[in-house]
């Protein structure tokens, strides 16, 4: 029986990297029947809906999605599709493993970076509750709830336990946002009590940003509310070579949508330059989720082999290979 998954290629570089990831999954020997659901600016503007019904119906049926990025207009226009999708399907945990790839030169040469970021995915300043009270005066509501904070903390600590991780660092700004971030921290502390074997640490987000740049190798599992999680994820991606290589998963009780950390990269869209590694590594996470562990390891090993060899790197990592050339190298490595 083939697996059934929803494929949302997205826009910008989305279709290019999605196509590469699907080919890599097929080469790893997994039979997936893809339900393709298009989503881009034009469709959203034409339908007037952020999330078309066919897309939600498909995800509700397959329960698993592989998603490329979708462009959101800056400072105007429709609500972010990504935020809407995460909230609608209650994909509360955004999981982003940030690891040094073999062969990639970073500023931290001898110190491998291996951290996993857990970003709360449904509330905080991403609630979209903004109001212009009077002209030129705007408020934006930051919503933090006990339910969502406990849930993401349990998810992160449980991951740490199951995967033999040693430390969870909760990142906050509770010195200023005493109520909102204070509640988030209290929930993290409470959950940490159920995991005595895992060291629990707290760090203010500005200091955490500096520590990440100075000593990234000291971080293990990071636990953050939505906004800090979003920003720190890109910062962390920069430590290991950039957005082209960092994967992600949006996990809920019933559904899972796998997507890279990066956006639609309009500056390189349609030029065949995009690095598909991030979505390929997101596909590794998808394969593990659907029980295709062997194929997942095969695909991961193939991507790592291409990096170890270092002959087919894309432009973001200092190479000259196109998306197609990189993908070809991964497919050959799988064989």
Catalytic residue among 173, 298, 307, 316: 173
Please confirm, yes or no, whether 220 is among the known catalytic residues.
no
Three-class DSSP category at 227 = helix
* 87 makes contact with ligand NAI (CB under 6 A): no
Instruction: Mention every residue, 6+ apart, whose C-beta is less than 8 A from residue 197.
Output: 161
Catalytic residue among 228, 230, 255, 298: 230
Please confirm, yes or no, whether 178 is among the known catalytic residues.
no
CB-nearer residue toward ligand NAI: 121 or 264? 264
Instruction: Mention every residue, 6+ apart, whose C-beta is less than 8 A from residue 186.
Output: none
Please confirm, yes or no, whether 267 is among the known catalytic residues.
no
Cα distance between residue 315 and residue 313, in whole Å:
7
Catalytic residue among 11, 87, 126, 255: 126
Please confirm, yes or no, whether 194 is among the known catalytic residues.
no
CB-nearer residue toward ligand NAI: 291 or 318? 318
Tokens of 78: 């429709």
CB-nearer residue toward ligand NAI: 209 or 211? 209
Q: Between residue 271 and residue 310, which ones bind ligand NAI under the rule CB under 6 A?
A: 274-275, 278
Cα distance between residue 190 and residue 183, in whole Å:
11
Nearest to 248 by CA among 229, 273, 227: 229
CB-nearer residue toward ligand NAI: 222 or 246? 246
Enumerate helices (H) and strands (E) in the chain, giving the number of each.
Answer: 11, 12
Tokens of 289: 């989720």
Q: How many residues bind ligand NAI (CB under 6 A)?
A: 21
Identify the sign of the CA torsion 321, 107, 258, 287.
positive
Judged by CB under 6 A, the stretch of 64-72, 192-200, 201-209, 324-332 that binds ligand NAI is 64-72
Q: Are 286 and 18 in contact (CB under 8 A)?
A: no
* 170 makes contact with ligand NAI (CB under 6 A): no
Instruction: Mention every residue, 6+ apart, whose C-beta is less than 8 A from residue 3.
Output: 30, 31, 32, 33, 64, 290, 292
CB-nearer residue toward ligand NAI: 11 or 123? 11
* 263 makes contact with ligand NAI (CB under 6 A): yes
Cα distance between residue 32 and residue 4, in whole Å:
6
Judged by CB under 6 A, the stretch of 93-101, 107-115, 193-201, 263-271 that binds ligand NAI is 263-271
The CA-atom distances, in angstroms, between 180 and each of 177, 250, 252, 293 are 6, 23, 23, 39
Judged by CB under 6 A, the stretch of 130-138, 179-187, 200-208, 260-268 that binds ligand NAI is 260-268
* 71 makes contact with ligand NAI (CB under 6 A): yes
Tell me which of 63, 86, 173, 262 binds ligand NAI, using CB under 6 A.
262
* 237 makes contact with ligand NAI (CB under 6 A): no
Catalytic residue among 57, 178, 206, 311: 206
CB-nearer residue toward ligand NAI: 70 or 168? 70
Rounded to 10 degrees, the C-alpha dihedral 74/117/327/311 comes to 110
Q: Are strands 256-259 and 249-251 parallel, antiparallel or unpaired?
A: antiparallel
Cα distance between residue 261 and residue 230, in whole Å:
9
Tokens of 206: 């500005």
Tell me which of 120, 124, 181, 316 binds ligand NAI, using CB under 6 A.
316
Instruction: Mention every residue, 6+ apart, whose C-beta is less than 8 A from residue 194.
Output: 157
* 11 makes contact with ligand NAI (CB under 6 A): no
Closest distance of CB 311 from ligand NAI, Å? 18
Q: Between residue 172 and residue 231, which ones bind ligand NAI under the rule CB under 6 A?
A: none
Residues classed as catalytic: 126, 173, 206, 230
- Interface contacts to ligand NAI, rule CB under 6 A: 13, 17, 69-72, 82, 243-244, 259, 262-268, 274-275, 278, 316
């Amino acid at each position: 029986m083939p697996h059934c998954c929803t494929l949302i290629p997205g826009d910008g570089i989305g279709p290019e990297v999605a196509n590469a990831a699907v080919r890599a999954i097929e080469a790893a020997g997994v039979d997936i029947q893809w339900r393709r659901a298009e989503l881009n600016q034009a469709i959203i503007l034409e339908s007037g809906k952020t999330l078309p019904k066919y897309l939600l119906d498909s995800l509700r049926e397959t329960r698993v999605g592989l998603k490329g990025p979708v462009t959101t207009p800056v400072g105007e226009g429709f609500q972010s599709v990504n935020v809407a999708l995460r909230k609608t399907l209650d994909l509360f945990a955004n999981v982003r493993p940030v690891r040094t790839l073999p062969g990639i030169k970073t500023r931290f040469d001898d110190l491998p970076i291996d951290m996993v970021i857990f970003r709360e995915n449904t509330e905080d300043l991403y609630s979209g509750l903004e109001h212009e009270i009077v002209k030129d005066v705007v408020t934006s509501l930051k919503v933090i709830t006990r339910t969502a904070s406990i849930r993401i903390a349990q998810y992160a600590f449980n991951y740490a336990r199951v995967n033999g991780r040693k430390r969870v660092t909760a990142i906050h700004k509770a010195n200023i946002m005493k109520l909102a971030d204070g509640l988030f921290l209290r929930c993290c502390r409470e959950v940490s009590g159920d995991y005595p074997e895992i060291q629990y640490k707290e760090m203010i987000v500005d200091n955490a940003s500096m520590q990440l740049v100075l000593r990234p190798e000291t971080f293990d599992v990071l636990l953050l509310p939505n906004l800090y999680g979003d920003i720190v994820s890109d910062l962390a991606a920069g430590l290991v070579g950039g957005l082209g290589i960092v994967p992600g998963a949006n996990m809920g009780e019933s559904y899972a949508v796998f997507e890279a950390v990066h956006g639609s990269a309009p500056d390189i869209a349609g030029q065949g330059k995009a690095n598909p590694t991030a979505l390929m590594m997101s596909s590794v996470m998808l394969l593990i989720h659907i029980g295709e562990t062997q194929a997942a390891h095969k695909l991961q090993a193939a991507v790592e082999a291409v990096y170890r060899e270092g002959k087919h790197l894309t432009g973001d990592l200092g190479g000259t290979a196109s998306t197609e050339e990189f993908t070809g190298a991964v497919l050959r490595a799988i064989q």
